[in-house]
C-alpha cells in the first residue's frame, strides 16, 4: 500500500495492512506484512455464529488493522484462490478443516515401505486435489529401503497417468534437489500419513530447520481436540515461497461428491467416459462400458479402477482410517 492511500482520520497509527497468515495456533495468528510480522486475532464480528469451517487459516491473505500496542485485528480474509481442506465429522456436525489456504502445490508424501503405502489413501488424496484444482506432486520417500523395481511396481502407474512423481530418501538425499526445485517460489504443503518422513524431508530441503522427527503428532483418538491444539506454520524457502509441514493425516474424508462427479477426478478414467454405451454409466456392471473394458485390458490400472469403485460404491467412512 502506498502512503497516499492511507486513511488520514484513522485512530490507529496507520490503516489496515495486507499480509499472509504464516502461523496459526489456537486462534492466535501471525501475519507477515511488508513491514514485518504482526500477532493478530480474528476480529470479533467475523467470529460470530457457529463456524462450518476454519474462518482463517495459514496461507490466507488478510487485511489486518494494527493497534497501538503493535498487535493486530484481522478485519478481512481475502477471497481464496484454492483451498486444501478436509471434512471432520464426529464432532456432532461436519466441519471443514483447512489444511492450507491458497496452495499452489500439494506434495503428497507416501513411503514405499515402513509404513506400507495405502494406495487407496493416495487415490483419495488425488481426488481431493483434483477437485480443489490444486497441482499434486507425489513424493515417494524411503526409497533407500526398497529396490527401484519394486518402487516402480507400486508407484509407476501414477507417472504413467501424468502425475509428477519424485522418488526420495531423507537418508541418502535422493530427490531432495527435485523437491527444492518444485517448491521454489510457491506456496505448498506436504501431506500424507504419519511416519512417512515428511518432517525428515523438509529438514533435508531446509538445513537448519530442525523439525521434530519420529513424533506422533496428531491427537490420539477420533475427533478429539483436533482443531484446537494444532500449530500450523509456513516456513519461508530460500529463493522464495513457503512450505507447510502438516502432521500425519489419518483421515481424509470426501464429502458431497456426486457419483458422476468422481469420473472427472480420476484423470485416466475421465477421457474414456464419453465412449461408454450409456451416458449414465456407473462403470461397474453396464454393457459397453469403456472404463471396465480398459481396466480388463490393463489400459487402466486395475488398482485404480478398484479405488474408483470403492469410492463410488463403498461406505464413505469405511476406509477413512489408515
Ligand atoms: N530409511 C528411511 N527412514 C526415514 C526416511 N525418512 C524418514 N525416515 C524415518 O521415518 C520416521 C518418521 O519420520 P518423520 O519425518 O517424523 O515422519 P512424518 O511424516 O513427519 O510423521 P508425522 O509428523 O507423524 O506425520 C523417522 O524415524 C525417520 O527417521 C528415509 O528416507 N529413509
Ligand atoms: Mg512430522
Ligand atoms: Zn462406463
Q: How far apart are CA 233 and CA 57, in angstroms?
A: 10
Q: Where are the beta strands (DSSP E) in the chain?
A: 17-25, 28-33, 36-42, 61-66, 72-77, 83-88, 95-101, 105-111, 135-141, 164-167, 187-191, 231-236, 242-245
What is the position in ligand 1's atom list of the atom closest to the CA of 168?
A: 31
Above 80 in pLDDT, residue 318? Answer: no
Output the CA 212–ligand 2 centroid distance in Å: 7
The residue to mutate among 145, 168, 200, 245, having the most atoms of ligand 1 within 8 angstroms of its beta carbon, is 200
% of the chain residues with pLDDT over 70: 86
Residue pair 12/66 in contact (Cβ under 8 Å)? The answer is yes
List of domains in the chain: 3-77 (2.40.50.140), 83-245 (3.40.50.300), 261-313 (1.10.40.50)
Average pLDDT over residues 68-97: 88
pLDDT at 260: 84
Write down the pLDDT at residue 49.
65
pLDDT of residue 14: 65
| Mean pLDDT, the chain, whole residue set | 87
Whole-number Å distance, alpha carbon 154 to ligand 3 midpoint, is 25
Q: What mean pLDDT comes out for the span 78-88?
A: 92
Confidence of residue 12 (pLDDT cuts 50, 70, 90): very low
What is the pLDDT confidence band of residue 91, given thresholds at 50, 70 and 90?
low
Best mutation site among 166, 202, 214, 230 for ligand 1 pocket (most ligand atoms within 8 Å of CB)? 214
Q: What is the pLDDT of residue 9?
A: 44
Q: Is 319 helix (H, G, I), strand (E, B) or coil?
A: coil
Rounded Cα–Cα distance for residues 308 and 123 (Å): 8
What is the per-residue pLDDT across 262-277, written as a single tens digit (0 to 9) for each? 999 999 999 999 999 9
pLDDT at residue 227 greater than cutoff 90: no
Extract the C-alpha cell encoding 122: 493416495
148 Cα to the center of ligand 3, angstroms: 34
> Which cell numbers in the block locate residue 117?
503405502
pLDDT at 319 over 80: no
Q: Tell me what pLDDT residue 111 has.
A: 97
CA of 198 to the centre of ligand 1 (A): 6
What residue has cell string 506484512? 33
Q: What pLDDT, in 10s, does the model give residues 67-79?
A: 999 999 999 999 9
Q: Does residue 224 surpass a pLDDT of 70?
A: no
Range with the lowest mean pLDDT among 80-94, 112-126, 127-141, 274-288? 80-94
Residues with CB under 5 A from ligand 2 (ion): 198-199
Cβ atoms 29, 16 nearer than 8 A: no
Cell (9 digits) for 13: 497509527
Q: So what's the pLDDT on residue 223?
A: 41
pLDDT at 109: 97
Judged against a pLDDT cut of 80, whether residue 279 lies above it is answered with: yes
Residue 13 pLDDT: 54
Question: Mapping DSSP to helix (H, G, I), strand (E, B) and coil, where does residue 45 land?
Answer: helix
Q: Report pLDDT digits (tens) over 27-59.
A: 899 999 999 999 999 987 777 766 788 899 999
Q: How far is CA 203 from the centre of its chain?
A: 19
Q: What is the mean pLDDT of residues 235-257?
A: 84
**How far away, in angstroms, is 200 Cα from ligand 1 center?**
5
Evaluate if residue 225 carries a pLDDT over 70. Answer: no
* Residues contacting 194, CB < 8 A, separation 6+: 115, 216, 217, 218, 247, 248, 249, 250
Distances (CA, A) of 25 to 65, 222, 232: 19, 20, 7
CB within 8 A of 202, min separation 6: which ones?
Answer: 190, 209, 211, 235, 243, 245
* 177 Cβ contact list (under 8 Å, min separation 6): none
The pLDDT confidence band at residue 127, using thresholds 50, 70 and 90, is very high
Cell 470403492 found at: 310
Ligand 1, CB cutoff 6 Å, lining residues: 141-142, 144-145, 169-171, 194-200, 213-214, 216-217, 247-248
* 200 CA closest ligand 1 atom index: 15
pLDDT higher for 230 or 179?
A: 179
In this predicted model, which residue has the larger pLDDT, 8 or 225? 8
> Cα separations (Å) of 138 from 45, 109, 164, 304?
40, 6, 6, 15
Handedness of CA 180, 183, 186, 192 (dihedral sign): negative
> What's residue 82's pLDDT?
96
pLDDT at 219 over 80: no
- 234 backbone dihedrals φ, ψ, rounded to 5°: -105, 140
Q: Give the Å distances, CA to CA, from 22 to 115, 179, 255.
A: 30, 21, 27
8 pLDDT band, cuts 50/70/90, is very low
| Cα–Cα dist 193/82, whole Å | 22
Amino acid at each position: 500500500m502506498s502512503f497516499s492511500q492511507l486513511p488520514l482520520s484513522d485512530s490507529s497509527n496507520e490503516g489496515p495492512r495486507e499480509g499472509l497468515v504464516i502461523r496459526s495456533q489456537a486462534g492466535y495468528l501471525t501475519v507477515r506484512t511488508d513491514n514485518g510480522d504482526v500477532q493478530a486475532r480474528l476480529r470479533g464480528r467475523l467470529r460470530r455464529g457457529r463456524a462450518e469451517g476454519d474462518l482463517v487459516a495459514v496461507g490466507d491473505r488478510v487485511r489486518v488493522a494494527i493497534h497501538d500496542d503493535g498487535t493486530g485485528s484481522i478485519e478481512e480474509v481475502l477471497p481464496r484462490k484454492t483451498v486444501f481442506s478436509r471434512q471432520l465429522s464426529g464432532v456432532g456436525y461436519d466441519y471443514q478443516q483447512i489444511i492450507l489456504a491458497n496452495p499452489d502445490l500439494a506434495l503428497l508424501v507416501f513411503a514405499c515401505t515402513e509404513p506400507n503405502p495405502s494406495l487407496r489413501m493416495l487415490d483419495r488424496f488425488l481426488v481431493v486435489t483434483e477437485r480443489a484444482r490444486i497441482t499434486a506432486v507425489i513424493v515417494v520417500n524411503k526409497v533407500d529401503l526398497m529396490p527401484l523395481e519394486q518402487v516402480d511396481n507400486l508407484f509407476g502407474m501414477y507417472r504413467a497417468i501424468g502425475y509428477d512423481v519424485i522418488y526420495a530418501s531423507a537418508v541418502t538425499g535422493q530427490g531432495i534437489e527435485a523437491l527444492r526445485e518444485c517448491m521454489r517460489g510457491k506456496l505448498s504443503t506436504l501431506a500424507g500419513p504419519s511416519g512417512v518422513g515428511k518432517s525428515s524431508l523438509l529438514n533435508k530441503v531446509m538445513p537448519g530447520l530442525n523439525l521434530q522427527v519420529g513424533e506422533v503428532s496428531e491427537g490420539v483418538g477420533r475427533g478429539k481436540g483436533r482443531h484446537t491444539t494444532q500449530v500450523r506454520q509456513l516456513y519461508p524457502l530460500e529463493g522464495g515461497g513457503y512450505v507447510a509441514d502438516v502432521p500425519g493425516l489419518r483421515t481424509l474424508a470426501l464429502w458431497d461428491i456426486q457419483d458422476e462427479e468422481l469420473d472427472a477426478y480420476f484423470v485416466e478414467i475421465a477421457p474414456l467416459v464419453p465412449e461408454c454405451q450409456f451416458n449414465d454409466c456407473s462403470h461397474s456392471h453396464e454393457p459397453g462400458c469403456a472404463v471396465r473394458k480398459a481396466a480388463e485390458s490393463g489400459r487402466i490400472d486395475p488398482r485404480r479402477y478398484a479405488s474408483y469403485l470403492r469410492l463410488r460404491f463403498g461406505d464413505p467412512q469405511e476406509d477413512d482410517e489408515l
